[in-house]
A and B are shown apart, each in its own frame.
Chain A
């Protein structure tokens, strides 16, 4: 049994989900190789406990993102019974491309993994749970925050490989910078707004609370469809993102079936809605019947006070 972990990076540094991928691999046993596209974060990857070896893959093709070029560079260097990646957008694309190149099956967005391999994932955006058995060798992407991180303190050897693959996808110009906010699919706390927020400018109240909590800001489909200021990347639910944070705060969201599917597996749910009959209260651990105008300032003050101590 041996595993290759494709590391995840963000803004030029190693993303913490990489330690979760190593943690998942460690529970299965056997040597663990971490492969770092573009060499990003390779020295930090070597410090993750349980890592046997780090391969830092460097080359011009990693300056921009071309899935095929990255996959062609990485695939020949990847061996073993199991390939793991994060189920981020790039993680999914890369592992799909690599698994196809190798002719092995891929299963995405797995939330628990056992020997053999037996994997659990949600389907229909959380309306059902599926358990599958997968023949080895195979490739699996794991959902962020579903696996315990491996600790630090390791000192794996790093080998550097230079590759040069032709890039077919040329970036012509940047249209808008990536949001500096945490993405809902990676956050441990999410605060989401619905059409009950009245107008998109009022999402600033959610942003303020998110800043206090270190949370991501999400939105219901109704909000995304109604206001173009609220991008689709914030949408939680079916046709958006399925999330499982520790705490999900729903504000002015009535709770359509598609939204509930995407967030009901959150560990704890706090709903704030002025309509006591709103379906969101049916899945909420804590429900507050109130307008957001009354509730949010009080919530922000209370949280700020608690977290400053």
Chain B
């Protein structure tokens, strides 16, 4: 019983990203936040807890700054907080091995996270973790409820929006959910500050946290756009359409 929620700390989506020396300059990022899709996973896990499903364990993997998203999760109702402390860049296999080991330790048989994180936008963790754990997997859900041993979810599948059912241990990844996200109240925030965080190293979990098979070579800014041509009023449409064909060659 219990739900493990995986949270990734990412730059707030309003943050400007600057590059320094071929690398994203993290020190220039003013605000970090829980990745938006992960917030829907957290909300759903807390709703399950309120319907009697057991504790919510919030897990994050990342450098020391990431502990903040665990405290934020505690403020809205997460019961146990696990921080897998890693300072280096990890490949998908390392991330999944770390998360798998910590989910196993919690004994949770439901795992929830966002369908992708707002930094890399990859979406590898949920389905990869399900394989690693040997759990079932349902991706891109907007709602999950549990009745007896059966979980029911709404997902956007290949043939449209559909309701699916799955029994046994399962990983769900969230799209933008149906529920409004709750905001923490003052009492929640105060309690959360006192909540202990279990901090674990990759070694504690029996995973090699160094030899990433994916190595970041370079970061760069997208090419600056040259100022374009500006036209006033809808009278300019014929001229613009001609340019789309003749200059841009896109229609």
Give A contacts to B, CB under 8 Å.
10, 64-68, 71, 89-90, 92-94, 96-101, 103-109, 118, 122-135, 138, 168-179, 189, 213, 232-233, 238-239, 242, 246-247, 257-258, 264-265, 267-270, 276, 281-290, 294-295, 298-299, 302-303, 306-307
Cβ A106 vs Cβ B128 within 8 A = yes
* Minimal beta-carbon separation of A99 from chain B (angstroms): 7
* Minimal beta-carbon separation of A225 from chain B (angstroms): 10
Complex: A122 Cα to B220 Cα, angstroms: 10
The size of the chain B interface, using a CB distance under 8 A, is 84
Cβ A175 vs Cβ B222 within 8 A = no
B residues 152-193 touching A (CB-CB < 8 Å): 152, 154, 156-168, 170, 175-176
Complex: A306 Cα to B91 Cα, angstroms: 49
A-contact 0/1 string along B231-244, CB 8 Å cutoff = 11110111011011
Q: Which residues of A contact B125 (CB under 8 A)?
A: 96
Complex: A112 Cα to B43 Cα, angstroms: 37
* Chain B, Cβ-Cβ closest to A89: B140
- With contacts A173-B162, A284-B228, A302-B237 taken as known, whether A103 is within 8 angstroms of B154 at the C-beta atoms is no
Cβ A239 vs Cβ B222 within 8 A = no
B36 within 8 A of A: yes
Give B contacts to A, CB under 8 Å.
11, 13-14, 16-17, 19, 24, 36-37, 91-93, 96, 115-116, 118-132, 135-140, 152, 154, 156-168, 170, 175-176, 213-222, 225, 227-234, 236-238, 240-241, 243-245, 248, 250-251
Cβ B213 vs Cβ A242 within 8 A = no
Cβ A233 vs Cβ B251 within 8 A = no
Cβ B129 vs Cβ A302 within 8 A = no
Q: Which residues of A contact B137 (CB under 8 A)?
A: 66-68, 93, 97, 169
Complex: A49 Cα to B50 Cα, angstroms: 56
Q: Which residues of B contact A189 (CB under 8 A)?
A: 250-251
- With contacts A106-B128, A285-B248, A289-B233 taken as known, whether A132 is within 8 angstroms of B119 at the C-beta atoms is no
* Minimal beta-carbon separation of A129 from chain B (angstroms): 5
Cβ A97 vs Cβ B127 within 8 A = yes
Known: A68-B137, A138-B213, A283-B228. 12 other contacts (CB 8 A): A93-B137, A100-B92, A106-B122, A108-B120, A108-B122, A123-B24, A123-B119, A127-B17, A177-B159, A177-B160, A247-B248, A295-B234
Q: Which residues of B contact A71 (CB under 8 A)?
A: 127, 131
Cβ B160 vs Cβ A281 within 8 A = no
Cβ A108 vs Cβ B136 within 8 A = no
Complex: A232 Cα to B142 Cα, angstroms: 11
Complex: A101 Cα to B245 Cα, angstroms: 48
Complex: A294 Cα to B232 Cα, angstroms: 12
Q: Which residues of A contact B156 (CB under 8 A)?
A: 89, 178, 233
From the candidates B157, B236, B251, name the one contacting A306 in the complex (CB within 8 A).
B251
* Minimal beta-carbon separation of A137 from chain B (angstroms): 10
Cβ A178 vs Cβ B159 within 8 A = yes
Cβ A307 vs Cβ B222 within 8 A = no
Complex: A71 Cα to B137 Cα, angstroms: 11
From the candidates B16, B162, B227, B237, name the one contacting A257 in the complex (CB within 8 A).
B16
From the candidates B132, B162, B213, name the one contacting A175 in the complex (CB within 8 A).
B162
Query: What 6 pairs across the A-B complex have the smallest Cβ distances?
Result: A100-B128, A100-B131, A178-B160, A294-B234, A96-B127, A168-B136
Complex: A50 Cα to B201 Cα, angstroms: 46
Q: Which residues of A contact B14 (CB under 8 A)?
A: 257-258
From the candidates B91, B213, B214, B228, name the one contacting A287 in the complex (CB within 8 A).
B228
From the candidates B118, B159, B167, B222, name the one contacting A128 in the complex (CB within 8 A).
B222
Complex: A254 Cα to B56 Cα, angstroms: 40
Cβ B121 vs Cβ A123 within 8 A = yes
